[in-house]
């Protein structure tokens, strides 16, 4: 395995698109239930937890890009090979691939659950999951530039949904937010960890980095994407806490979708149906980029054509959909992946960056690796 990747110029994408990749990867299906999940731990100060989760994410993004800039054009798989060697590096890469596939599975299943609960209660799980995965496979087969294009179009075509939050503002009770910081600091910190599953996606920088044209500007645009996500998540949480009573918010599984119920147009009473339909455009780039990153890792470890791995990985994810038959099972799997994501997205990249930095200090020639051939 080569440490550094040198894609052809035709495969590179403009640096400003990093902002769209970060936001599209973060703002997935998790935002629909985020306010309730964090509220259960941090109460009416949940928005503080969400905000600091975004600040923490900004710090981890900086560390990730600092680590990647120690190489000419490496991804996580190449860094594993460089630091840990052929066999241990391959093992760590495959473990990360399993995490990426698990995240893709969670995204698919959570969106299917939303559609079944709100729009089509009799729709079979395997039908919608198959449609989503076929769309994901179609996008990934086009390569990284198509995946990035899907991220860009997703943000552009769904940005109007954020402005729909203006409707619940008229029903806001500011007293629900007071007094500020009454919750114990420990519970606010726990709330930050609860935000992890919703705000992950930034770690995909570890895989798209070699395909960025101007890598030195990547940090600026990555921070811009994360800043917009942090602002959106914080505002959504603030509005949800002010809109719902404490009891209602703890019992409402998807507060964001529930708030859309008050929006009505002359010829459209159930606006949430439109919102859920457009939510597929938010979910699709998540599926594509996680599936691409996972299958890219399999190709890096085992070689051969990535296309066959795309079909195999999608088939495995689809097959796992048949094992989820109840909501409590989905909750268990989601919580499990959420705990893992906190380690894989927040903790592991920081530890790996420290190891890379130590190696750079010990071996002065390590910054631009000779092992890239």
The pLDDT tens digits of the residues spanning 205-251 come to 999 999 999 999 999 999 999 999 999 999 999 999 999 999 999 99
Token pair 């455009």 in the structure block, residue = 281
What pLDDT score was predicted for residue 373? 33
Using CB atoms within 10 Å of the CB of residue 325, give its burial: 0 to 12 exposed, 13 to 18 middle, 19+ buried: exposed
364 pLDDT band, cuts 50/70/90, is low
Q: Is the pTM of this model over 0.95?
A: no
Rg (CA), the chain: 21
Q: What angle do CA 232, 134, 222 make, to 5 degrees?
A: 30
CB-side neighbour CA atoms (13 Å) of 172:
17
Taking alpha carbons only, the member of 261, 49, 273, 39 closest to residue 171 is 261
Predicted pLDDT at 366: 45
Write the pLDDT tens digit of every residue in 103-116: 999 999 999 999 99
Full set of structural domains in the chain with CATH:
9-363 (1.20.1740.10)
pLDDT in tens, 11-63: 999 999 999 999 999 988 889 899 999 999 999 999 999 999 999 999 999 99
pLDDT at residue 326, rounded to an integer: 82
Task: Tell me which long-range contacts 127-133 makes (C-beta under 8 A, separation of at least 24).
Answer: 129/317, 129/318, 129/321, 130/318, 132/108, 132/280, 132/283, 132/284, 132/287, 133/108, 133/287, 133/314, 133/317, 133/318
């Amino acid at each position: 395995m080569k440490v550094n990747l040198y894609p052809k110029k035709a495969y590179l994408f403009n640096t400003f698109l990093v902002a769209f990749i970060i936001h599209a990867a973060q703002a997935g299906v998790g935002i629909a239930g985020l306010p309730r999940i964090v509220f259960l731990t941090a109460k009416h100060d949940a928005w503080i937890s969400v905000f600091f989760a975004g600040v923490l994410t900004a710090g981890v993004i900086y560390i990730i890009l600092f680590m990647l800039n120690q190489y000419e054009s490496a991804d996580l798989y190449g860094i594993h090979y460089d630091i840990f060697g052929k066999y241990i590096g391959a093992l760590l890469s495959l473990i990360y691939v399993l995490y990426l596939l698990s995240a893709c599975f969670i995204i698919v299943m959570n969106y299917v659950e939303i559609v079944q609960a709100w729009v089509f209660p009799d729709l079979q799980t395997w039908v919608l999951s198959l449609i989503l995965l076929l769309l994901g496979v179609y996008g990934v087969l086009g390569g990284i530039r198509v995946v990035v294009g899907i991220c860009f179009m997703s943000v552009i075509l769904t940005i109007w949904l954020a402005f729909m939050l203006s409707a619940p503002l008229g029903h806001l009770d500011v007293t629900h937010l007071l007094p500020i910081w009454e919750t114990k600091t420990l519970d606010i910190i726990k709330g930050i960890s609860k935000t992890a599953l919703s705000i992950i996606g930034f770690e995909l920088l570890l895989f798209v980095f070699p395909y960025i044209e101007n890598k030195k500007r990547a940090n600026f645009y990555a921070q811009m994407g994360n800043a917009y996500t942090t602002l959106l998540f914080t505002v959504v949480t603030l509005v949800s806490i002010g809109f719902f009573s404490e009891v209602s918010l703890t019992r409402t599984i998807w507060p964001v979708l529930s708030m859309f119920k008050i929006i009505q147009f002359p010829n459209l009473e159930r606006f949430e149906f439109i919102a859920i339909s457009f939510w597929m455009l938010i979910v699709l780039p998540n599926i594509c980029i996680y599936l691409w990153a996972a299958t890219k890792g399999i190709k890096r470890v085992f070689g051969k054509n990535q296309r066959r791995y795309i079909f195999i990985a999608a088939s495995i994810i689809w097959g796992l959909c048949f094992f989820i038959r109840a909501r409590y099972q989905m909750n268990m799997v989601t919580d499990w992946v959420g705990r893992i994501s906190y380690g894989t997205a927040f903790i592991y990249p920081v530890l790996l960056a420290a190891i890379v930095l130590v190696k750079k200090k010990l071996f002065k020639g390590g910054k631009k690796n000779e092992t890239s051939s």
